[in-house]
Amino acid sequence: MSRPVEAAEEGPGAPVFKFRLYVAADAFNSMQAVANLMRFCREHLPDRYEIEIVDVFREPRRALAEGVLMTPTLIKLAPAPVKRIVGTLSEASTLSQTFGLQVPA
């Protein structure tokens, strides 16, 4: 898909993925999303990911400013382009596709 992503597969020196995950406190969907994202990162992006978790109840202004209305919402900030995924992130294949990663068969 895009060049930086291909570079990402090369191990050291590959770009670091920055995520921001909006959750609604400890709502079931949100908790699932956190768990699913953690697992995905461990499996596909070992040591090159950063996750920021934002609780909409604590920081509603931030959610409003960023236009996050559904929870959970994952925003991939880096590498470009910025992508959003809404939901529990239950399907790893959708994540890989969206992040431009090639899933090892």
Partner 1 sequence: MKALVSLASSTGKAASGIEGFDAITGGGLPHGRTTMLGGGPGSGKTIFGMQFLVHGALHCGEAGIFVAFEETPARIVANMAGFGWDLEALQQEKLFFLDAQPLPDLVQSGTFDIEGMLAAIGAQAADMGARRIVFDALDVVLALLPDAAAQRREMYRLHQWLLSREITGLITAKAGDDMASSCLPRPSSFMEFMVDCSIVLNHRVELGVSQRNLRVQKYRGSTFDEDEAPFVIGNTGFNVAITRLLGPVHGVVSLERVSSGVDRLDTMLGGGYYRGASVLVTGFPGTAKTTLSGAFAEAACARGEQTMFVSFDSDGAEVIRNLTSVGIRLQRFVQSGVLSMTSARTMTGSAETLLVRVKSLAKAHGTRCLVIDPVSTLAKAGNELTAHGVAERLIDWCKADGITLFCTSLLDEMGSQANGGKPLHISTLADTWIHLNYLVQAGERNRGMSIIKSRGTAHSNQVRELILADSGVTLADVYTAGGEVLMGTMRWEKESAERVAKEVSEVAAKLKRVSLDAEEAVLEVRAKSLQTELVAKQVEKALLARTTESRERELARGRTRMRELRGSDESAG
42 vs 81: CA distance, rounded Å: 22
Three state DSSP letters for 80-91: CCCEEEECCCCC
The alpha carbons of the chain give a radius of gyration, in whole angstroms, of 14
Compute CA distances 70 → 20, 73, 83, whole Å.
Answer: 14, 6, 15
Of the pair 18, 84, the CB lying nearest partner 1 is at: 84
Min. distance of Cβ 51 from partner 1 in angstroms?
A: 16
Subset of residues 47 to 86 that bind partner 1, contact rule: CB under 8 A: 56-57, 60-61, 63-64, 67-73, 83-86
Q: Does 34 bind partner 1 (CB under 8 A)?
A: no
Q: Does 36 bind partner 1 (CB under 8 A)?
A: yes
Min. distance of Cβ 64 from partner 1 in angstroms?
A: 4
Q: Does 89 bind partner 1 (CB under 8 A)?
A: yes
Q: Does 21 bind partner 1 (CB under 8 A)?
A: no
